[in-house]
Amino acid sequence: MLSSVICGPINHLLQSSPWALERLRDFPESVLLIEGIPFPVRLRIRSDGYFIAALPEDFPVVTIFLPEDVAARFITDRNSLFSSIRIAGAADLAEALGFIFRNLEWDVEADLASVVGDILARRITRGGKTLAQRIRSSTERGIGNLREYLVEETGEIVANGDLAAFGTAVNALRDDLARLEKRINRL
């Protein structure tokens, strides 16, 4: 069921990316399994490069393991999301899928333009990008303020500089103790 639902959006993105379809055509009937979301998703690559839902008993050629915080990373930092995804199985298909999903982009403005017109779609897209940037900026400032509060006000978290200084002091104390031990042994 979930596999069928996921095929629609992925195929929509592929429709506007002929280069991706061309790469997927090299792997007809290959099954991939996506793990790390509430329900595993099995997809089969058709001969035309699009995806369809695979049967539960179909053996996957490639398994994609998503991190637990996939939704948050998708919204805030897609680069860290793609670097944290693990892919196991056939190397050539895994490499092709990795390349495709890293470079596949949704042309939101084109989809909106077919519904509301070009000018309004452009304005909505610009407004959405501005809003997303402001949310990201506000979130970063909020996290920075929380970190500062936990470090400076409550002392719940140790500052990086203090931790490094403590490590240096421990190393110096260890060295001094070793020298003292040698002196005592000489006496």
Q: Is residue 139 pLDDT above 80, yes or no?
A: yes
CB count, 10 Å around CB of 39?
9
Per-residue model confidence as pLDDT tens digits over 71-102: 666 666 666 777 778 888 888 888 888 888 88
Residues 82 and 164 in one domain: no
CA separation for the pair 143, 159 (Å, rounded): 15
96 and 128, same domain (yes or no): no
Say how far apart CA 35 and CA 173 lie, in whole Å.
49
- Same domain flag for 25 and 83: yes
Is 121 or 75 the better-scoring residue by pLDDT?
A: 121
DSSP letter, residue 156: S
Q: Which residue has the tokens 């680069």?
A: 79
Nearest-angstrom CA–CA distance, 48 and 22: 8
- Place 147 in a pLDDT band, splitting at 50, 70 and 90: confident
Amino acid in position 27: F
Structural domain range at position 171: 157-187
Q: What is the CATH number of the domain that holds 99?
A: 3.30.1050
Residues 174 and 82 in one domain: no
CA distances from 35 to 32, 64, 125 (A): 10, 6, 32
What's the rounded Cα separation, in Å, for the pair 36 and 114? 34
Same domain for 7 and 99, yes or no, is yes
For the whole model, what pTM was predicted? Answer: 0.61
Distance in angstroms (rounded) separating the CA atoms of residues 108 and 6: 18
Asked if residue 149 and residue 81 are part of one domain, the reply reads no
Residue that the structure tokens 């931790």 belong to: 163
11 and 56 both lie in a single domain: yes
Kindly state whether residues 133 and 81 are assigned to the same domain: no
Give every CB contact of residue 28 below 8 A, 6+ residues apart in sequence: 45, 46, 47
User: CA–CA separation, 48 vs 5, rounded Å?
Assistant: 19
What confidence score (pLDDT) does residue 173 get?
93
Same domain, 52 and 142: no
The alpha carbon dihedral of 144, 147, 151, 157 has a sign of negative
Q: Is the domain of 77 the same as that of 145?
A: no
Mean pLDDT along residues 168-185: 91
